[in-house]
Amino acid sequence: MPDLQPAGVRLEREGAIARIVLDRPAARNALDLPMARGLRDAVAAVAADPAVRALLIESSSAHFMVGGDVRRFNALLADGPQACRDEVDQIISAVHEAILGMAALPCPVIGLAGGAVAGFGFSLAMACDLLVAADDARFVLAYSAIGTTPDGGATWHLPRLLGLRRALAVALLNTPIDAPEALALGLACEVVPAAELHAAGQRLAERLAAGPAGAQAGIKRLLRAALDADLPTALAAERASFLTQAVEADFAEGVGAFSARRPPRFGPP
């Protein structure tokens, strides 16, 4: 997978770890159309590379993302609401492809969020499988502050992560959530000093990249499907997945390592 650098997004690869870097620092990664398309294309490129075992999504600067480029929206509105609507439609279409692509990836997706995590930035952070927050991170949905409704999967992820009543409060009141509260609520799995965010994410990605790829893909698939499944369907899916893994080399390695009391050495998917 070659490194890609579309406007506002960098896609890099180091061994089995891919990295999508949000890279529009002068605008605090405010999302515009080129950046939306860059994110979509970067996720698609990761999906096309079966050797990727973990994906990091992070910012090149102190702020993860402040949301949509409101200044761009204001300029478009000068040409009339339809001009703004048409471009917003293209932005949302692109980022929704990215969100669906992230959910479908077999590898774990790890978000690294610091500074402002607002609007679509919050949506993107919630769409990651795991999220590490810097201690200076502040999460706010903020869509209603500009008179609109959320996108990027926020209305799907938020009530599932927080419950309906708390999700409504977050979306309607726009009260910022700091990093310790994000950890307590389950939005983040870890909080680290801002200066250590990149290193913490790298350690987590390396740990996951060394894990059993088939089992991790199955865990991700089963948990996401179970959100909308009844218990018999979930049980049947668990049985089928376990039986599939039982004939794979990683299962034999894991069982053998456990029995021998040594660390497992899992292979490629």
The residue count of the chain comes to 269
pLDDT digits (tens, 9 = 90+) for 130-143: 999 999 999 999 99
The enclosing H or E element of 34 equals: helix 33-47
| CATH class as words, domain 213-260 | mainly alpha
What dihedral do alpha carbons 187, 190, 194, 196 form, nearest 10°?
Answer: -150
Mapped onto helix, strand or coil, the DSSP state of residue 196 is helix
pLDDT digits (tens, 9 = 90+) for 236-256: 999 999 999 999 999 999 999
- Every domain of the chain and the residues it spans: 9-209, 213-260
Same fold: 9-209 with 213-260? no
Please report which confidence band the pLDDT of residue 267 belongs to, taking 50, 70 and 90 as the band edges.
Answer: confident
**Contact in structure between 54 and 108 (CB atoms under 8 Å):** yes
φ/ψ of residue 232, rounded to 5: -60, -40
**Contact in structure between 224 and 218 (CB atoms under 8 Å):** no
Which pLDDT score is estimated for 217?
A: 96
The single-letter code of the amino acid at 151 is D
Q: Which of 48, 47, 60, 63 shows the shortest CA–CA distance to 109?
A: 47
The domain over range 9-209 is classified in CATH as 3.30.70.3400:
no
Model-wide pTM > 0.85? yes
